[in-house]
């Protein structure tokens, strides 16, 4: 046995050792190598990194609901599959812009298999009249000046 240039423990493969298993002649993989293998098997698009800006994440959420109109979205799936952090904040921003969502609370299993109670799953219902929303935004901006 000896250490190779990467610091892995290797077993010498000689012709005298016929009973030596072939798997022992391969160096063991480090944790870093195992993680890099996991990252290469994930189906993420490396050409288009996930943006963390509010506007781009809201667009990703709306795109998800365009492609899956009858499916709900919870914070664990949004993080795992869409790369969305703080789904509740994204839904709140979209509600402010006039989009209508309804939610249900349920028990969801997280990435580690731990049951999480009271996790909201958001469903897209539609969009309100945008003229009403623009008028309410204008009235909100002028209400602070009247004091």
Q: Are 122 and 74 in contact (CB under 8 A)?
A: yes
| pLDDT higher than threshold 60 for residue 5 | yes
pLDDT of residue 59: 94
Per-residue pLDDT of 49-88, as tens digits, reads 577 889 999 999 999 999 999 999 999 999 989 999 899 9
pLDDT of residue 110: 82
Residue 91 CA from chain centroid, whole number: 15
Q: Which domains does the chain have, with CATH numbers?
A: 54-143 (3.30.1370)
pLDDT digits (tens, 9 = 90+) for 23-49: 444 555 554 455 445 444 444 444 455
- Are 72 and 122 in contact by the 8 Å Cβ rule? The answer is yes
DSSP 2-71: EE-TTS-EE----TT-TTS-HHHHSPPPPHHHHHHHHHHHS---TTSPPP-SHHHHHHHHHHHHHH-TT-
């Amino acid at each position: 046995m000896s250490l190779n240039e990467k610091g892995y423990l290797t077993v010498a493969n000689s012709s005298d050792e016929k009973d030596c298993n072939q798997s022992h002649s391969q160096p063991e993989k480090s944790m870093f190598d195992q993680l890099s293998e996991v990252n290469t098997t994930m189906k993420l698009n490396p050409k288009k990194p996930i943006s963390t800006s509010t506007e781009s994440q809201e667009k990703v959420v709306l795109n998800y609901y365009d492609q899956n109109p009858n499916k709900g979205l919870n914070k664990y799936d949004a993080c795992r599959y869409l790369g969305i952090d703080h789904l509740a904040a994204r839904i709140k921003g979209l509600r402010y812009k006039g989009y209508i969502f309804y939610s249900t609370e349920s028990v969801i299993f997280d990435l580690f298999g731990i049951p999480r109670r009271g996790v909201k799953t958001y469903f897209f219902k539609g969009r309100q009249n945008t003229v009403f929303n623009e008028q309410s935004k204008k009235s909100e901006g002028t209400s602070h000046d009247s004091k």
